[in-house]
Structure 1
Amino acid sequence: MTFLDAARWDGKIYIDGWTEGSGGTRDAVEPATGGVLGRFGVATAADVARAATVAAKAQKEWAARHPEERAGVLRRAAQLWEEHAEELQGWIIRESGGVPGKAALETHIAANECHDAAALPAHPAGEVLTSNEDRWSFARRRPAGVVSVIAPFNFPLILSIRSVAPALALGNAVLLKPDPRTAVCGGVALMRVFEEAGLPAGVMALLPGGAETGAAMVEAPEVRVVSFTGSTAAGRKVGESAGRHLKRVHLELGGNSALIVLPGADLAKAASAGAFGSFMHQGQICMATGRHFVHESLYEDYIAALGEKAEQLPVGDPASGQVALGPIIDQGQLSRIHAIVEDAVRAGGRLVAGGTHDGLFYKPTVLADLTLDNPAFAKEIFGPVAPVTKFSTIEEVAELVNANEYGLSVGILGDVGEAMKIADRVNSGKVHINEQTVSDEANSPFGGVGASGTGSRIGGATANIEAFTETQWLTMRPEIAPYPF
């Protein structure tokens, strides 16, 4: 039997063990071929309610375990990601349409997330406070309780594990809803890893489903914290519901990240960075470079170099050969991408490369001469499209970057001194000097501002502890205090 042998999970969800979901089953589909890879169970709101009840009970026992026991489960999980990496990467390639390098990155980061999370149970659990009373005063961190994790399709493993691992390590139970388009590599894989790592039954539930399922995971009375990664539109709904139900919510949402190419930058390296930022995983990344701002002295040369890169990048089935780009996740997403490209050209944009597709395989596309209100520049495309415009001064480009509602990531290429000045002016959760916009590490805080979310709520010990614990004030006296009543 393989690690993800379907005999264990075929047509099932996980609540205190593998079981049938009330919503029936759904096929796991390979976007590159349309073939069926397997079948998973679909959870309904009733399943979420049952899972939340089970999780709330199991969480108390899990939180009471010694720190070294919880750390041990996370360390074993990290080993399993490494031991079964090849098989798990195969699922990521076929189910998410990612190239092998992207799949390898996902399993590598999944292991790192668990390694880092394994240190959290031993982290100081609070601080000693001063007091004007004759007592000891403490602020101590305690598990939040039940955490709902709602993850998207594009990096299905990373964008699940980065919340699941620290939440579990800190003594919480987790309800996980992966996107149904990547329910195996973004859901079943995690459930199997923690099942084999020794996580007690009931502490984690796997609940694939649609909007109804997601809504139930926010509304369940047992849930205290919601960690959502997805579109800004969906995030607004999650945030509204969480506010009504007085839940803490961490939102990592869309982006329209900017790459700034300064005068004097190495043109070949800049074009390579720009191509990676816009075309990696078909541009289906929240941090993807959605806006290229190029100094007027390099503008035409940069467009030509980027267009040449786009024309040379092979597109095809990532499971069958060496390609740089795989398929778009589904027809709905492809239609949206193509409509934006067509609207951009109609609005005066110049099509330098691409703009065509064969089935779900969309050619890397470069658009030039765009105004700020051009659809390709104003919207998050979530496809392999590089929109380019020019600027004259660092003051101008900082204003242009900030003119967009998103604030997730900014890359600045060229002179470090000038880049530092821009970094101080832009509104962004992340700034990378002499790097493109796509970057993530398990030990680094991750998040955006504006329409990109509620700040850096994930990544690194400080952000993770803040995200998945509650602070309790505790005082102690040697004897009962005297009162005037």
Structure 2
Amino acid sequence: MDGAQFSFFDDGTWSGKIYTGGWVDGSGGADEVTAPADGAHVASIGRATPADLGAAAKAARAAQPAWEATAPADRAAILNKAAEILEANAGELIPWIIRETGSIPPKAGIEIEHSAGFLRAAAEAAQENQTQTLASVDGRGASEELIRVAHGVVGVISPFNFPLILSIRAIAAALATGNAVVHKPDPRTPITGGVMIARAFEDAGLPSGLLHIVPGGADVGAAMCEDPNIAMVSFTGSPEVGAKVGEACGRNLKKVQLELGGKNALIVMDDADIDVAASNAAWGAWLHQGQICMATGLILVPSATAGQLIEALGTKASHLPVGDPAKEECALGPLIVEAEAKRVEGIVEDAVAKGATLHVGGKPNGTLFPATVLSGVKPGMRAFDEEIFGPVAVIAEYDNEDHAVELANMSDFGLVASVIGTDVRRARDLGMRLRVGHLHINDQTVTASPLAPFGGRGRSGNGCRISGPALWEEFTQWVWVTTKPAATPYPF
């Protein structure tokens, strides 16, 4: 970072390079990585081309069979070692995460902590028995087994917002189940989303050829969906790009796992503690500037208590400083690029023009966007209908429980919902009426675990999941094996 040298993360090793069979030059030259807060130089990274992607996929396919044949305990040991390396070097890595992604220090620490958790969970899963015995039904005297086998090579495409976690959760799952990996991180965050992972596995002793990091543009992602050596693609990003990935993978008969974001409702029940509800809503709406697929995108509150909630959120917003977390203490850092700040401002302006009330915030300064509170939001406003991906608390009022469910289920997304109330049974019953993949009672929406299947419904994905028991479901496939003690003749 601007000439800084570290024993583990020495940028002299990887500056201007891609990772495929070691650190090498990319065919596309090198790109500059800049800080979202001020546009300053962070690092240089190699730029891969579709040709680099093709060579990486071919090398990964050649290396994969030996890795699948490796003892599960040995695969697990490498995954656990990679987790230890990330944790041991957190002091060096966190400043890079802050600078490259605009994260405040606690969020950067979460990236390290949760990524290590995903690695350890994958290591444990690698050692699970995935063979089942079936009863033979045809009287042939054959024993019958179902065995999980790797797809081969898994392509991973990850976003900019939590680049370490959202890259490593798929990479770890793929490696744990015997696959090789070709990974394209977001070109805006290739250090956190790529280089850190390569360095951790490099030092952990992952055999050469099993992990390739190919930073590049949309042409590299498109090539990944077309390459015959890649059997599966795991994509995390926008619904618009995800639809294109799904279409291309379907055309090429590839397995595809899509995680595409959400418009996540937090329902405040009429018996809720308003101060506690406001605290949950603030965290869910404004953490990492709202740039989280699980962010609280719609706060539904009874009309009778809406004024109290608006006042509590407005007070919180006015006390949250926004700035460059690499240079000053702040609660909110920058959005990833200035165009995103202008887009979020447009969503706020649309809501106000259609009758919503702006209480706090709403105006960016470059990439810096303050915590914002909008009330009186209704269907038909962009703030109600769209995933904002910015620090805007969107408040809509409801008349009764049926109305709350109706409003929450209007979204085409279906990732997360939360319900906060004193009567837990009642809150849970209401929550189970919501069309989502994750439901949290008396908690906010930004919650994840390496042991829980992650994914949503509708525009939030294609019904696939990642982590927990979904690790084996998504990253392997069944082979049915029958064995007879000896071959016997047939009538022909």
Query: What range is the shorter-chain TM-score in?
Result: over 0.9
Residue 382 of structure 1, aligned match among 389, 393, 396:
389
Q: TM-score, normalised by structure 1?
A: 0.98
Name the residue aligned to 1:440.
448
Task: Confirm or deny that 1:110 pairs with 2:115.
Answer: yes
Name the residue aligned to 1:75.
80
- Contact 1:259 1:289 (C-alpha < 8 Å) held by counterparts: yes
Name the residue aligned to 1:47.
52
Q: What does residue range 91-110 of structure 1 map to in structure 2 within 5 Å?
A: 91-110=96-115
Name the residue aligned to 2:29.
24
Q: d(CA) in 1 for partners of 2:263 and 2:201?
A: 34
Task: Confirm or deny that 1:3 pairs with 2:3.
Answer: no
Q: d(CA) in 2 for partners of 1:35 and 1:127?
A: 55
| Structure 1 position 33, deviation (Å) | 2.3
Structure 2 counterpart of 1:454, one-letter code = N
Q: d(CA) in 2 for partners of 1:284 and 1:467?
A: 26
Structure 2 counterpart of 1:432, one-letter code = H
Q: What does residue range 189-208 of structure 1 map to in structure 2 within 5 Å?
A: 189-208=196-215
Residue 430 of structure 1, aligned match among 438, 441, 461:
438
Name the residue aligned to 1:124.
129
Identity of counterpart residues, as a percentage? 47
- Residues 239-284 of structure 1, C-alpha deviation per residue, up to 9 Å, x if partnerless? 0001000001000002110010011211111111111111000000
| Structure 1 position 184, deviation (Å) | 0.2
- Residues 45-98 of structure 1, C-alpha deviation per residue, up to 9 Å, x if partnerless? 111100000000011111111222111111110110110112111111110001
Q: d(CA) in 2 for partners of 1:172 and 1:287?
A: 28
Task: Confirm or deny that 1:472 pairs with 2:479.
Answer: yes
Q: d(CA) in 2 for partners of 1:262 and 1:225?
A: 42
Q: Over aligned residue pairs, what C-alpha RMSD do you find?
A: 1.0
- Contact 2:288 2:332 (C-alpha < 8 Å) held by counterparts: yes
Residue 85 of structure 1, aligned match among 86, 90, 98:
90
Name the residue aligned to 2:273.
266
| Structure 1 position 406, deviation (Å) | 0.6
Q: d(CA) in 1 for partners of 2:93 and 2:249?
A: 33
- Residues 438-476 of structure 1, C-alpha deviation per residue, up to 9 Å, x if partnerless? 11111111001000002351011x200011111100000
- Contact 1:429 1:456 (C-alpha < 8 Å) held by counterparts: no
Name the residue aligned to 1:164.
171
Name the residue aligned to 2:242.
235
Name the residue aligned to 1:211.
218
Residue 365 of structure 2, aligned match among 355, 358, 370:
358
- Residues 327-355 of structure 1, C-alpha deviation per residue, up to 9 Å, x if partnerless? 01001211111111111111111101101
Q: d(CA) in 2 for partners of 1:378 and 1:386?
A: 13
- Contact 1:394 1:418 (C-alpha < 8 Å) held by counterparts: no
Question: How many residue pairs end up in the alignment?
Answer: 484
| Structure 1 position 322, deviation (Å) | 2.1
| Structure 1 position 370, deviation (Å) | 1.2
Structure 1 gaps of 5+ residues are: none
Task: Confirm or deny that 1:292 pairs with 2:299.
Answer: yes
| Structure 1 position 326, deviation (Å) | 0.3
Q: d(CA) in 2 for partners of 1:155 and 1:409?
A: 17
Q: TM-score, normalised by structure 2?
A: 0.97
Q: d(CA) in 2 for partners of 1:362 and 1:142?
A: 47
Name the residue aligned to 2:402.
395
Structure 2 gaps of 5+ residues are: 1-5
Q: d(CA) in 2 for partners of 1:169 and 1:187?
A: 18
Structure 1 counterpart of 2:462, one-letter code = T
| Structure 1 position 304, deviation (Å) | 1.0
| Structure 1 position 417, deviation (Å) | 2.1
Name the residue aligned to 1:134.
141
Name the residue aligned to 2:3.
none
Q: What does residue range 247-286 of structure 1 map to in structure 2 within 5 Å?
A: 247-286=254-293
Name the residue aligned to 1:419.
427
- Contact 1:117 1:165 (C-alpha < 8 Å) held by counterparts: yes
